[in-house]
Structure 1
């Protein structure tokens, strides 16, 4: 009876051992499952952190690119207004340097400290942008005001120039009218002859015998003219022979002068002080040779303008 009962305790111990081993295995599996879950969560959290850093990096790069574009815009505006832009070029270079650094970060390596540092620098750049935009706006306003003022001044200057031109033209016209009005006029022109015995002869018909003429005498009065200034006047006489040539001899006081832009000979000249009293003037001319027969002309000039004319005939 004792031999039949001995195997039962051994079987029980084996069962207990198997159960214990199963429990240990289950515990290990449960621990490994828990550790795998924790590791998965850590990986997910790390992936999320890396992704968030990459997003922050991309946002920061875009912000700096926008800042660079704004500085370049400001530089172009300042250049267009003819202003120096050295400070803007330096700022653009600084932004470019930061962009190079930002683009050099590897995935997930953009730390919170770096994020904070670049964010502060970007805020400083944006503050500079705002101040520069205010300066540019004020400069544009000043330029517009200056342009308006300059345009107004030019318009006034043009009007003033037109006025001055008009006044000058009016003065010129007035001067020409005064010059015309102040011209002298010879009146009561008479021609006489003087023979070799110094006897004078007048003829209402102004006809004389050529062989008896030694000298020709021309007398006239200067008409009144309240416009003509009282000053010394030059009076020229031209004695023109029948062939159209003017008698001219330097030894007897002849010379040349200008008539309507052309040079002409005069026979005699004298200076008188015009006093507006109808003062008499006379010329006595001796040719020193025989006079030609035919119609002679006497022309009187002052200031290059004819002031009187008459004719006489020598037979």
Structure 2
């Protein structure tokens, strides 16, 4: 076996050294590139952080501007002055705020920053100018306050007197209305069969199947306060299940009582003459009556003026 010459051994060592140098150089380049990439990434993150900070600061500036313009609007309103221009500015600021907040999910460019900064500066100028105008208005208002104080005192006393008179008048009207309330006295229930034979209410029960018509009679009590005029009287015939009999074909309808719309079974117009006149309702259901306790109610002028009951078996 031939032995290697010193020359060949030296060349091999040089080759190995060269390869090691090349590998180290490549590794160094890769490390450098990675460092550059990491640096760029950090720089990009810092740029994004700065932009986000700028964005949030700009949003805070606009929120503060909105609060100031709303303050001005409220102050002007308290002075009884028109504030349409301020409402327009507030609406514009709300629109700008909506745009700024939308940048949280998108790019907020340098151009956007400059645009909104310029708009904010213009709004701040308008805000200061309006504050100066309002300060002058407030000063003038304070000068007038002393002169108006005496008149306001007199006006307040007059207003109090008018309020008391109005309250007294309202109370009187309510008392008169209540005093004018009609009263259905001595309510009588009469049952008529299909042959027209009457059976008066004597606390006995009636057979439902024999009832053809029901007659209700009562007298309107004397009332010196109630005006002599036409009175509308509604009758509600309520069955044992609590529902009022209702049939448009027989003259039923609705009316308002204590803020609610309720059904009435029948209605009559009566000219009240304060003579204790008798009023009669004759009702025919047109179908068999239910067994059990029935209630009849009479209403006029928004009041319940009388009620009675009877039982059918």
The TM-score, its normalising length taken from structure 1, stands at 0.52
Measured against aligned partners, the alpha-carbon deviations of 1:206-236 in whole angstroms (never above 9, x if no partner) come to 5211111100100000101111111111100
Which aligned pairs between 1:85-124 and structure 2 lie closer than 5 A? none
Q: In structure 1, how many angstroms separate the alpha carbons of the residues matched to 2:147 and 2:229?
A: 51
CA distance in 2, matches of 1:149, 1:220: 67
Q: Does the 8 Å contact 1:206/1:311 carry over to 2?
A: no
Q: Is the 8 A contact 1:191 1:206 kept in 2?
A: no
* Partner Cα distance (1:206, 1:165) in 2: 56
What is the alpha-carbon distance in structure 2 between the residues aligned to residue 204 and residue 304 of structure 1? 30
Structure 1 distance, partners of 2:292, 2:298, is 20
Larger Rg: 1
Report the counterpart of residue 193 of structure 1 in structure 2: 191
- Shift in Å at residue 199 of structure 1? 1.6
Runs in 1 of length 4+ with deviation above 3 angstroms?
146-150
Distance in 2, Cα, partners of 1:301 & 1:182:
13
Contact 2:188–2:201, Cα closer than 8 Å, also in 1: no
List aligned pairs for 1:1-315, cutoff 5 A. Answer: 150-315=148-313
User: Per-residue displacement from partner, 1:277-311 (whole Å, max 9, x unpaired)?
Assistant: 11100100000000111100000101221100000
What is the CA RMSD across the aligned residues, in angstroms? 1.7
Q: Are 1:182 and 1:228, in contact at CA under 8 Å, matched by a contact in 2?
A: yes
SS in 1 for 2:216: strand
Unaligned runs of 5+ in 1: 1-142
Equivalents in 2 of 1:156, 1:278: separation in Å? 52
CA distance in 2: counterparts of 1:182 and 1:200, whole angstroms = 34
- Which secondary structure state, in structure 2, belongs to the residue aligned with residue 152 of structure 1? helix
3-state SS in 2 of match to 1:292: coil
**Which 5+ residue runs of structure 2 have no aligned equivalent?**
1-141
Equivalences, count: 172
